[in-house]
Amino acid sequence: MPLVSHIKISKNMSVLSLARQMEAAKVLGAGRFGKASRILGEMFRDKECTKFISLAGPLIPGGLRSVITDLVGGGYINGVVATGANVTHDILEALGHRHIVGSENADDVRLKRRGLSRIYDLYVTQRSIEELEKVTYHMLDRIPEEKRRDIGSHELLWEFGKQLKDKDSFVRTAQRRGASIFCPGIFDSMIGLHLWTYSRLHPFILNPLRDFSRLVDMTYERKRVGVIILGGGMPKHQVLIANTYRGGVDAAIQITLDRADGGGFSGAPLEEAISWGKVKSPNNLVTVVGDASVVFPVLAVAALQQSTAKPKGDRVR
Amino acid sequence: MPLVSHIKISKNMSVLSLARQMEAAKVLGAGRFGKASRILGEMFRDKECTKFISLAGPLIPGGLRSVITDLVGGGYINGVVATGANVTHDILEALGHRHIVGSENADDVRLKRRGLSRIYDLYVTQRSIEELEKVTYHMLDRIPEEKRRDIGSHELLWEFGKQLKDKDSFVRTAQRRGASIFCPGIFDSMIGLHLWTYSRLHPFILNPLRDFSRLVDMTYERKRVGVIILGGGMPKHQVLIANTYRGGVDAAIQITLDRADGGGFSGAPLEEAISWGKVKSPNNLVTVVGDASVVFPVLAVAALQQSTAKPKGDRVR
Amino acid sequence: MPLVSHIKISKNMSVLSLARQMEAAKVLGAGRFGKASRILGEMFRDKECTKFISLAGPLIPGGLRSVITDLVGGGYINGVVATGANVTHDILEALGHRHIVGSENADDVRLKRRGLSRIYDLYVTQRSIEELEKVTYHMLDRIPEEKRRDIGSHELLWEFGKQLKDKDSFVRTAQRRGASIFCPGIFDSMIGLHLWTYSRLHPFILNPLRDFSRLVDMTYERKRVGVIILGGGMPKHQVLIANTYRGGVDAAIQITLDRADGGGFSGAPLEEAISWGKVKSPNNLVTVVGDASVVFPVLAVAALQQSTAKPKGDRVR
Amino acid sequence: MPLVSHIKISKNMSVLSLARQMEAAKVLGAGRFGKASRILGEMFRDKECTKFISLAGPLIPGGLRSVITDLVGGGYINGVVATGANVTHDILEALGHRHIVGSENADDVRLKRRGLSRIYDLYVTQRSIEELEKVTYHMLDRIPEEKRRDIGSHELLWEFGKQLKDKDSFVRTAQRRGASIFCPGIFDSMIGLHLWTYSRLHPFILNPLRDFSRLVDMTYERKRVGVIILGGGMPKHQVLIANTYRGGVDAAIQITLDRADGGGFSGAPLEEAISWGKVKSPNNLVTVVGDASVVFPVLAVAALQQSTAKPKGDRVR
C-alpha cells in the first residue's frame, strides 16, 4: 500500500515544485491539488487534446479575466463555456468600465440608491450596464440580419469579439485565436436583458441548439478532450454532456466549493459523470474543494511551469 | 432590543406550531426557518400574488415530485422554473419509469456497465432514457411545425404537458392548471439531447427569448410577485432577473446549501439582489441554509397549515 | 432494487407522518431525515438504551435551550456532552440574563464599545459575563475544597446544577434528573476564564480524566448506547471515543453543516468511526446535512410522536 | 473607490509574485489569499511578534507534518495549539509508523477487520496505536511523579518531546526550539486513551488550567501576538480566548471550510472575535475559505519568500 509523504517547503521553491510536493502527499486536499496540477500540465502540453474551460461564479469581474484571456491567447484553451454574467463583465471592461472594490456587508438599499450593483464584495455601476445596452444594440445591428435570425451564442460572441478592441477581453481574444465561447445562459444576465429588448424590436433568434451542435463538432472526432471546471452550474454540465457522443471526456479537473451531498450536479464528483457517459474513465479526474479564484491561478502557474513550451515574454501569451 | 425566545416542543404540536416556536427564536437557522414559514404561508394565502418556484438539484427524481405537483395542482404556484434534469425526470416517471435507491459510494464504471446512471444515491436506467427519445420525438411531431420553428421552453412543455397522462407529473399538472413551466436550460439535460437530435432532422428552434417575454408578461403588471427558490443555478437567476422590469419581487425565500463567500449567484443572499433591482426591499426575504429536500416539505406543510383555505381531501390538491 | 417513493404532503398531516413520508423517499437529504427520525424515535422508546447528546455551536443561546432541558427532564437523554460556551450561556440565562437579537453584519468594533459580544446574529452583554464571575466564584466556594482539588467537569456541573434555581436550565435539570453533563472544553469558554482566575487564588484542579472515567462507566456495561450529535467538535469525538471500550455505540444520528472532504472529524460520516471501534455497525447510523437548530426540533417532535409514552402536559417533560 | 485589478500569471513567476498579483485583485477569495500572504509574511518577519498556529483536522497525518515542524524549527512559530489527534499522529510517525494512502469510499467494516482505521482517505494501523500505548506508558514513567500529579498538556508534551528522537516530529522540534505545544483536548484522542488508562494505575492528573496559565503568560506582556488558524475547533478558540487579557491578538489569518452561518465558532469570521476582546482590531485579519492542506503550504512559501531572512539550505529550517 502506498504511503503518505510529507510536503517539504523551502524558501526558494517554485510553484511547480510545491505542487509536486503536494502531489506526493497523495491524500486529502493537498494530494488532490497536486494531482490536478499534473493533469492540467499534461493537458496544456498535449497538442492533440481539445481543451475546454467552464466558468461559473464571478471570476471575470473578480480578478481572473487576464488569467482566462491569456490562457486562451496562449492556445492553452480551445473552448470556453461561461455564464452570461462572465461574458457581460468581460464586455463591460472591454468598454472601459472597471469593477469597484466593495464590501459583502454593504447595505444593498443604499448601494442601489448610489447606482451600484453588488456581487459579494465588488460593485459595478448601473450606468455601465445602461451603456452596455447601446453598445450591444450597435454590435447586433452590425450582424447580418439573416445570421441574426438563427444564431447560437458562440456565433454571437464571435461577432461581438470581432467588434471589441480591448486586448484583455477573453471574448475578443477567443475570436482572434479561433477559440469558441459558449454561453448557454447568455439571456440570463445583464447583456441578456439587452438581447431580449433588442429581440422585441428587431429580427433576432438565439438558438441554443446551434451551440450544442458546435460543441459536439468540436469534440466528437477529437483525439482527446480535456475539461477544466471552475465552479458548477450550467457551464459544467453543458461541456460534459456534449461529450457523451464521443464516450466522455478523457481528463477533467474541477474546483468548487459546492458539496456533493445535496445531490446537485454542481457539486457532484466527476466520477458520477462516468455512469452517464460524460466522462470516460476514473483516470485523469480530480476534484479540488476550494475557491476557484484562489486555487486556479496557482494551479495554472504550476501547469505552465510543467509545460515544456517556452514562455513568450512576461505573461502567458 | 428584541430577545431570543426558546423553542418549546411538545409531543402533540403541529408542524405550524413548531414553525411558530422557531420563528420566536428569531436568530440563527431556526429563526430563519420560522420566518420562511410565515412568508410562505402569506404567499400561499395571497390570491393577488403571482408565485414562482425555482428548482435546481435532483428534487423531482429524489422524492419531491408530488410535493411540487400538488402545490401546482392546488393553485399555490403559478410558475415553475426548473433545470432540464428536473423536467427530464418528471417525464421519465410520467412514462412509467421509476428511480432506484442506490448508494453514493457506488462504482460508477460498474454502474455504467449495468446500464445505470447515478445521481448521488439514486439511479435511473439508461434504457428509460433511450425510451424517452422515442416519446420525445413523438411528442414533438405532434406540435405544429410552425410553432416548432420558434418555440420557448414554456410553450414546448405546455405541449408536452397536454400529451402526458400521469396525474403525478408536474409538467402535465401545470398545463391543466394554467401554470407555466420554464426550463431555461432544457437542452442541457437528457431530454435536451433528444431535442437536439430531433432538431438535426426536423425544423425546430428553441428560442429562450420567448421564455423571457413570457416571464416578464407574467410578472410586469402583477400586484405582487413571490418566489420560492430551491437550490440555486440558472432557475434562481432567471426568475429574479425577469422581475427587474417591475422593480423586483415582493417576497422571496430560498433554501440552499451553496455558500455566499465564493461570490456566485447560487449562494448569494437575497439582499444582494436588491442592488440589482431583482428584489424590491429587505422585507419578506429570507435564506434558510439547508438541503431543500429536507427543509421544503416541512416548510410547505407549515405554510399550508397557516393558510385559511380549507384542504380538499388527503393531499394538498 | 428498492424504488424512490414520492413524499405526499397534506394540510393536516402531523410531524411524524411527514417524517414517515420522507423516510419512504429513501434517498437524498429527505430520506436521511426520515431515517434519523425513526432511529431517534426508537432510541427515545428504548428504556435499556443509554442516550447521549453532544452539543456544539450556539444552540443554547440561540433558541434550543428548552428543547435540550425538556428532553433531559423527560428522561429522553442520560448524558450531555457540551462545549463550554453552551454551558456558559445556560448559566447566564439561569442568572436571569437574556440573549439579544442582533445582526450578523454588525460592526464588531461598535458592538464592543456598546458592551455587547456577538455570536453570529445574537448578542450577549459583557456585563452579564462579568456578573457570571462573581456567581461562579460563589458556586465554587460552596464546593468542598477536597472535591475541588481533583474534579471532573461532570462533577463540577453537578455541583453547579444543585445551586441553580432556574427550571429551564439544562445544567440544573440534569442534576435533578440524575443525568450527567460533560464539558470537555469547559475552560475554553467565558465560564472557563472564571474557573481559571479562581484557580489562581484557590485550590482547584479540573481533571478531564475523571470525566473520561465517568463516560466509560456510563457506557461500558450498558445494553445499548445511542448518541445524538448536534454539530461536531470535541463533544462529538469525546462521546464516541469513550465507547470504544464497549465496542462502539449501537445507534447514532448526526446533524451538521461541516463537510467530510476536509478530513476533520466534525464533518466525518459516522461510518468512518466504525473503523476506529467507536461505532458498532453500519446499522442505525445516519447523517443529516443541515443546521441543527432547524433540523433537530423537527426531528425531536417526530421522535416524540413516534414514542408510545403518553405526553405529560403541554411540553415534553 | 479602489478598483479590482486582474491577476497576471506568467510561466516563471514565483509563489510570492503570484500572491502579490492575487492581493492586487483585492476582492473575493483571491484578494483574501493575497492579503493573508502579506499578513503572514509580516508575522514571519516580525521578531517582536509571538506567533501561534492552531491545528484542527488531520494535517499532521495528511502531509503537513514537515511544514509545521520546519516552521517551528525555523523559529517562525512560538506556540502550537493542536488537537489530540494531530499530536497522536506526530508521535506515531516519530515511532516509525507511517500513514497509508486509502480511499474515502472504503468499507469501514472491512477496514476494521483488516486492522486499519480511517481518516477520510488515509489509514493508520491499529497495531501502531497499540504500540503507542507501551511507548506512552514508558514516556510517562520517566516523568517525575510529582510533576505528573498536576501537569498541563504543554508540560507533558515538553517531556515527550525530550524523549522523542525523530527530527521530523513537531513535538520534538518544539521542545528543542523552546516552542510550546498546547493540546487542550489531548485526552480526546488515541494517545488520550493511553493517558487515561495510565491514570487508572499511576498518579497522573492532567490539568488544563496550567495550559491556560502558560498561554496567558506567553501572550500577556508580549509586544505583538499573531495567530495562524488552520481549521476551527477548540484549538482556534483556545488560542484566541487566552489573548483577551491583553486585549486581543494583533494579527490573525484563518483557513477553513467551515461556514459562518451555522453560528459556531469554528466558521466564525475573525471580526466577530473583536466583540469578545479576543482580537484587537479589524486590521490584519483575514479568512481564506478553503482546505488548509491546499492553501497553507502555498501561503507559507509566499510568506517565506516575502521574508528578508536568508534561507538556510533546501528546507525552511
pLDDT digits (tens, 9 = 90+) for B188-245: 899 999 999 999 999 999 999 999 999 999 999 999 999 999 999 999 999 999 999 9
pLDDT for B310 equals 47
- CA-CA distance, A41 to A31, in Å (whole number)? 15
> Do D261 and B29 make contact, defined as CB atoms within 8 angstroms?
yes
pLDDT for B308 equals 62
pLDDT for A308 equals 62
Q: Cβ of D257 under 8 Å from any chain A Cβ? A: yes
For A261-268, what is the mean pLDDT? 94
Q: Cβ of D132 under 8 Å from any chain A Cβ? A: no
* pTM (predicted TM-score): 0.96
Q: At what angle do helices B170-177 and B65-73 cross, to 10 degrees?
A: 10
Q: What is the pLDDT along chain C (317 residues), one digit of tens a residue?
A: 899 999 999 999 999 999 999 999 999 999 999 999 999 999 999 999 999 999 999 999 999 999 999 999 999 999 999 999 999 999 999 999 999 999 999 999 999 999 999 999 999 999 999 999 999 999 999 999 999 999 999 999 999 999 999 999 999 999 999 999 999 999 889 999 999 999 999 999 999 999 999 999 999 999 999 999 999 999 999 999 999 999 999 999 999 999 999 999 999 999 999 999 999 999 999 999 999 999 999 999 999 999 764 444 444 44
Q: Assign B313 a pLDDT band (cuts: 50, 70, 90).
A: very low
Number of other CB atoms surrounding residue D80 within 10 Å: 31
B222 neighbors B246 (Cβ within 8 angstroms): yes
Contacts of D78 (CB under 8 A, 6+ apart): D50, D51, D52, D179, D180, D218
Q: What's the whole-number average pLDDT of chain B?
A: 95
Q: Cβ of C231 under 8 Å from any chain D Cβ? A: yes
Q: Assign D317 a pLDDT band (cuts: 50, 70, 90).
A: very low
- CA-CA distance, D306 to A242, in Å (whole number)? 45
C280 tagged catalytic: no
- CA-CA distance, C282 to A207, in Å (whole number)? 50
Q: Cβ of B111 under 8 Å from any chain A Cβ? A: yes
State how far residue D106 is from chain B, nearest Cα, in angstroms.
9
SS3 A157: helix
Asked if pLDDT for residue A201 goes beyond 80, the answer is yes
Chain A, nearest residue to D98 by Cα:
A3
Tell me: the pLDDT tens digits for D90-127? Answer: 999 999 999 999 999 999 999 999 999 999 999 999 99
Which uninterrupted H or E stretch holds C182?
strand C180-182
Instruction: Measure CB to CB from residue C289 to each of A29, A105, A261 and give the nearest one.
Output: A261
pLDDT for C1 equals 85
Please measure the distance between the N-terminal and C-terminal CA atoms of chain C and give it in whole angstroms: 42
Q: Assign A307 a pLDDT band (cuts: 50, 70, 90).
A: confident
D245: cell is: 487579557
Q: Cβ of A105 under 8 Å from any chain C Cβ? A: yes
Asked if pLDDT for residue D248 goes beyond 50, the answer is yes
Q: Assign D308 a pLDDT band (cuts: 50, 70, 90).
A: low
Beta bridge partners of C256: C289
Instruction: Measure CB to CB from residue A4 to each of D8, D101, D168 and give the nearest one.
Output: D101
Residues in C touching D60 (Cβ below 8 Å)? none
| Geometric angle at alpha carbon A287, from A281 and A288, rounded to 5° | 155
- CA-CA distance, B211 to B214, in Å (whole number)? 5
For A143-150, what is the mean pLDDT? 96
> Do A291 and D291 make contact, defined as CB atoms within 8 angstroms?
no
**Dihedral sign of CA atoms B90, B92, B98, B100 in order:** negative
For D213-217, what is the mean pLDDT? 96
D227 backbone dihedrals φ, ψ, rounded to 5°: -130, 135
Contacts of B3 (CB under 8 A, 6+ apart): C98, C99, C100, C101
SS3 C283: coil
Which uninterrupted H or E stretch holds C146?
helix C145-148
Computed over its alpha carbons, how large is the radius of gyration of chain C?
20
Point out the residues of D that are catalytic.
278
Computed over its alpha carbons, how large is the radius of gyration of chain D?
20
Q: Cβ of A110 under 8 Å from any chain C Cβ? A: no
pLDDT for C317 equals 41
Q: Assign A1 a pLDDT band (cuts: 50, 70, 90).
A: confident
Read out DSSP for chain D?
--B-------TT--HHHHHHHHHHH-SHHHHHHHHHHHHHHHHHH-TTEEEEEEE-SSTIIIIIHHHHHHHHHTTS-SEEEE-HHHHHHHHHHHTT---EE--TT--HHHHHHTTEEEETTEEEEHHHHHHHHHHHHHHHHTS-HHHHTSB-HHHHHHHHHHH---TT-HHHHHHHHT-EEE-TTTTSSHHHHHHHHHHHHS---B-HHHHHHHHHHHHHT-SEEEEEEES-HHHHHHHHHGGGGGTSBSEEEEEE---GGG--STT--GGGGGGGTSB--STTEEEEEB-HHHHHHHHHHHHHHHS-SPP-SSS--
| One-letter amino acid for residue B101 of the chain | V
A243: cell is: 461529450
Q: Cβ of C201 under 8 Å from any chain D Cβ? A: no
A262: cell is: 445535496
Contacts of C241 (CB under 8 A, 6+ apart): C276, C278, D188, D189, D192, D193
CA distances from D265 to B9, B31, B290, D232 (A): 26, 19, 19, 7
Q: Cβ of C9 under 8 Å from any chain B Cβ? A: yes
| One-letter amino acid for residue C269 of the chain | P
State how far residue D268 is from chain B, nearest Cα, in angstroms.
13
> Do A263 and B188 make contact, defined as CB atoms within 8 angstroms?
no
Chain D, nearest residue to C283 by Cα:
D109
> Do B241 and A189 make contact, defined as CB atoms within 8 angstroms?
yes
Asked if pLDDT for residue A311 goes beyond 50, the answer is no
Tell me, rounded to whole angstroms, the distance of Cα B240 from its chain centroid.
13
CA distances from B113 to A64, A275, B117, B126, C72 (A): 40, 8, 10, 10, 51
- CA-CA distance, D14 to B166, in Å (whole number)? 62
pLDDT for D314 equals 41
- CA-CA distance, B107 to C262, in Å (whole number)? 22
- CA-CA distance, B214 to B208, in Å (whole number)? 10
> Do D22 and A294 make contact, defined as CB atoms within 8 angstroms?
yes
Instruction: Measure CB to CB from residue A311 to each of D12, D24, D297 and give the nearest one.
Output: D12
Q: Does ipTM top 0.90?
A: yes
B196: cell is: 437536439
| % of chain B exceeding 90 in pLDDT | 95
Asked if pLDDT for residue D309 goes beyond 60, the answer is no
For B55-66, what is the mean pLDDT? 98
Q: What's the whole-number average pLDDT of chain A?
A: 95
pLDDT for D1 equals 85
Asked if pLDDT for residue A48 goes beyond 50, the answer is yes
Beta carbon pairs, A and B, within 8 Å: 190
SS3 C127: helix
CA distances from A3 to A36, C268, D66, D245 (A): 19, 22, 15, 44
Catalytic, out of B147, B278, B280, B310: B278
Chain A, nearest residue to D34 by Cα:
A294
From the list C154, C153, C89, the residue with the least C-alpha distance to C122 is C89
A206 backbone dihedrals φ, ψ, rounded to 5°: -95, 120
Three-state helix/strand/coil letters over B70-101: HHHHCCCCCEEEECHHHHHHHHHHHCCCCCEE
pLDDT for D307 equals 75
| Geometric angle at alpha carbon C211, from C296 and D82, rounded to 5° | 80
Burial class (CB in 10 A: 0-12, 13-18, 19+), B115: middle
| One-letter amino acid for residue C48 of the chain | E
Instruction: Measure CB to CB from residue C101 to each of B3, B8, B33 and give the nearest one.
Output: B3
State how far residue A135 is from chain D, nearest Cα, in angstroms.
23
Tell me: the pLDDT tens digits for D149-178? Answer: 999 999 999 999 999 999 999 999 999 999
- CA-CA distance, A39 to A45, in Å (whole number)? 10
